[in-house]
Structure 1
Amino acid sequence: MIFFDIDGTLLDYDYAEREGILDFFRAHNSFFSFTEHQSIELWKQLSREYFEKFLANELVFQEQKRLRMINLFKMAEIDLSDQEADEKFEMYLSFYQKNWKAYADVMEALNQLKQSGYTLGVISNGDYEQQIEKLQHMGIEEYFNCVITSSEIGAAKPDKAIFEEACAHANRQVKDCYYVGDRLDTDALGSKKAGMRGVWINRKDKISHQDVIVINSLSELGALVI
């Protein structure tokens, strides 16, 4: 069985986040005077800080979204109420979702693997409902027999518990499963430490790694596992 990460592996997360936050700042250009680069870097910083708190079970999913907006607007000396912060995040989310798209190599790879008889699944850090929305938006939900997320399991990658739980849910031995993800430590090495066959999809450069399988495109996956 082959499990996949979603963001940065199937969905072009960097593109969606970048375009989404730029659209948001354009809609609020009377409040903020950041350059495009500053806007993107600031939002990435806030997202990373509060999403990690969610993964560590320090915040619920809604709280981490709200706090991103509250702290963003504090930089413009504007204090948002919880309701206002929620409304602002929903606006950002609409821009972000509008830009969801699968990488160009996704459909062909999934079709090839399915035709070759592989069972496919997803293991993702994040909120279950939102991750399902992403798969539906990309038109690929039907390819996956199971979708396991940290919000359901109570453990986040690279904790081996989430990988083990996914394999148990799929009724597969951990050693017989592949895991494909774009983050070396969180995905490839994390899944390998759990006993899976970790595959690092590194679209950014030609760096390899001695401890895991490295591919530069999902188009390489078929030849690797078939």
Structure 2
Amino acid sequence: MKLNEVTDVFFDLDHTLWDFERNSALAFNEIFNKQKLDLNLDDFMKVYKPINFRYWELYRNNSVTKEALRFGRLKESFDALQFEACDATINLIANDYIEYLPKNNHLLEGSKELLTNLHKRYKLHIITNGFEEVQHLKMRNSGIQEYFSTVTTSEEAGVKKPHPQIFEKALIKSSAVAQNSVMIGDNLEADIVGASKFGFHVIYLNPDREVGQHQFAEIQKLKEVLNYL
């Protein structure tokens, strides 16, 4: 079903356009080689992924600081693998990770094609909970910055999705109105429920088909956005 009267399309960045899992693994691989750490990357990523997800939930709910997130997700991952690393080493890896992460430029399948198509017909924007200092680098290095009229980060807004204030900030910044806007993202609570409560149309990117009760438009691949726009 096509969404009518849409003028502005808002995207989440990580896990929606930017291939966070792939780029993250590449960054850690480079860091582990640099530090000569005897760690199997696949084993590490298997434990790191759910721990990182949980820490981002805590960060979104203001239960941990940015610094605690960066340290804690590594500390718990190493502990789960029974890999001994002192606090100084963990802090070094955490700092290297922020530096290395935006050097990798892989996008999720269909991102560029979709953005090229939509850019001809809509104003495009980003709303992200990611850290201010790396999100713009990710966009520039992956070659998608030129598609977007505005980028609103949680650090700029002072609150994180799904707080209504970040959506309000994004609308003011873009001169858009919620009724004529659609939010596309992979996080049901932060992106979809949050934007919907503020009056946006929403499209939920759910590639793993995670089961949950909701009434929102849902897609498994980015190209399916064109079924609605």
| TM range, smaller chain | 0.7 to 0.9
Which one of 77, 87, 90 corresponds to residue 80 of structure 1?
87
1:172: Cα distance to partner?
1.4
Kept in 2, the 8 Å contact 1:191–1:198? The answer is yes
- Choose from 101, 109, 113 the match for 1:108: 113
Deviation string, structure 1 residues 83-112 (Cα, Å, up to 9, x no partner): x44322233345544444112311111111
Matched, 1:160 2:164: yes
Structure 2 letter corresponding to 1:11: W
Structure 1 residue 41 corresponds to structure 2 residue 40: no
* Aligned with 1:92 (options 92, 97, 103): 97
Distance 1:144 1:209, change over 3 A: farther
Flag the 1:30–1:21 CA change in 2: closer, same or farther, 3 A: closer
CA-based RMSD of the aligned residues comes to 2.9
One-letter identity of the residue aligned with 2:119: K
Q: Distance in 2 between matches of 1:68 and 1:210?
A: 29
Q: Distance in 2 between matches of 1:76 and 1:64?
A: 19
Deviations 1:43-80 (A, max 9, x none): 23442344444434455434432344455556534432
In the alignment, the residues of structure 2 paired with residue 185 and residue 59 of structure 1 have an alpha-carbon distance, to the nearest angstrom, of 18
Which aligned runs of 4 or more in structure 1 are off by greater than 6 angstroms? Answer: 206-209
Tell me the residue number matched to 2:134.
130
TM-superposed CA distance for 1:9, in Å, is 0.7
Out of 22, 39, 45, the position equivalent to 1:15 is 22
Deviation (angstroms), 1:166: 0.7
**Structure 1 vs Structure 2: percent identity of aligned residues?**
25
1:5 to 12, 28, 53: 12
Q: Give the partner amino acid of 1:108.
A: E
- Cα 1:217–1:50 change in 2 (3 A) is closer
Letter in 1 for 2:157: I
C-alpha displacement of 1:222? 3.1
Match of 1:179 in 2: 183
Moved more, 169-178 or 67-76: 67-76
Give yes or no for contact 1:206–1:216 (8 Å, CA) kept in 2: no
TM normalised by structure 1 equals 0.81
Q: Which range is displaced more, 23-32 or 148-157? A: 23-32
Query: Aligned partner of 2:166: which letter?
Result: I
* Runs of 5+ unmatched residues, structure 1: none
Q: Please, which moves more after superposition, 189-198 or 35-44?
A: 35-44
What is the total number of aligned residue pairs between the two structures? 220
State the shift of 1:211 in Å: 1.6
CA change 1:210–1:65 in 2 (3 A) is closer
Q: TM-score, normalised by structure 2?
A: 0.80
Structure showing greater relative contact order (alpha-carbon pairs closer than 8 Å, 6 or more residues apart): 2
Cα deviation for residue 200 of structure 1 reads: 0.5
Q: Does 1:64 pair with 2:69?
A: yes
Question: Would the aligned equivalents of 2:180 and 2:200 in 1 still touch at CA under 8 Å?
Answer: yes
Residues in 1 aligned to 2:60 and 2:170: alpha-carbon distance in whole angstroms: 17
Letter in 2 for 1:42: V
- For the 8 Å contact 1:73–1:80, the answer to whether it is kept is no
Q: Is the 8 A contact 2:110 2:222 kept in 1?
A: yes
